[in-house]
Amino acid sequence: MRLFVSYLDGREQRPYVRPMALREILVVPDPTLKKVSARVDVVDDAVRALMDDMLETMYAAPGIGLAAIQVGVAKRVIVMDLARAEEPPAPQHFVNPEILWASEETAPYEEGCLSVPEIYDEVERPSQVKIRYQTYHGETVEEDAEGLYAVCIQHEMDHLDGVLFIDHLSRLKREQAVKKVKKQAKAA
């Protein structure tokens, strides 16, 4: 039985019917979330399977972005889907993403995080960034991001360096957020 779809250019992709696995999303104060993720040497089937699992996990949570470290894998891999509820899914895959340029102009945005459940606060970030990353098939892409796209990619890239959005807040707000998450976990 063949488990791959072949394209004319020689690429192969697992079909959408491939069974994927939901992974546990780590939450604060799990120390794994503070680890710096390692670069991916090659985008192979194992990395693609990780991204497939991450997307399924993100959709089930539900969320709009997820970094591999949030599921306990210290690799520089991110998935996102910024499609609105009424739009078809638009999954994006980022391997070894990096910011090439960030605008001096910043903008505040209320952020939340699957690793800091039910906590939301305003974070100030560059309003535009130019990014470089590898795709699901290992191609290198450079593009400009602004608005929610810029916010989300910067948020997820922070995870790759062991930074949570609450690390951008005051110490008091950060401590309150962690305390609230711990309290929620005990109540569950």
Look at residue 120 and tell me whether its pLDDT is greater than 80: yes
6 or 90: which leads in pLDDT: 90
Looking at the domain 15-187, which fold is it?
Answer: Peptide Deformylase (3.90.45)
Look at residue 151 and tell me whether its pLDDT is greater than 90: yes
Mean pLDDT along residues 59-85: 96
Measured at the CA of 133, the angle between CA 81 and CA 140, to 5 degrees, comes to 115
Mean pLDDT along residues 113-123: 95
The tokens of 36 are what? Answer: 């710096």
pLDDT of residue 19: 52
117 CB burial (10 A radius; 0-12, 13-18, 19+): middle
In the chain, domain spans: 15-187
Look at residue 18 and tell me whether its pLDDT is greater than 60: no
Mean pLDDT along residues 78-85: 94
**Distance set, CA 158 to CA 70, 119, 139 (Å):** 11, 17, 22
91 CB burial (10 A radius; 0-12, 13-18, 19+): middle
Instruction: Say if CB 130 and CB 121 are below 8 A apart.
Output: no
Q: Is 94 helix (H, G, I), strand (E, B) or coil?
A: strand
Q: Is 156 a known active-site residue?
A: yes
- The H or E element that residue 186 is part of is helix 171-187
Look at residue 59 and tell me whether its pLDDT is greater than 70: yes
Given the residues 111, 124, 156, 175, select the one marked as catalytic. 156
Tell me the β-bridge partners of 13: 5
User: Does the reported pTM lie above 0.85?
Assistant: yes
pLDDT of residue 85: 84
Closest of 109, 104, 111 to residue 126, by C-alpha: 104
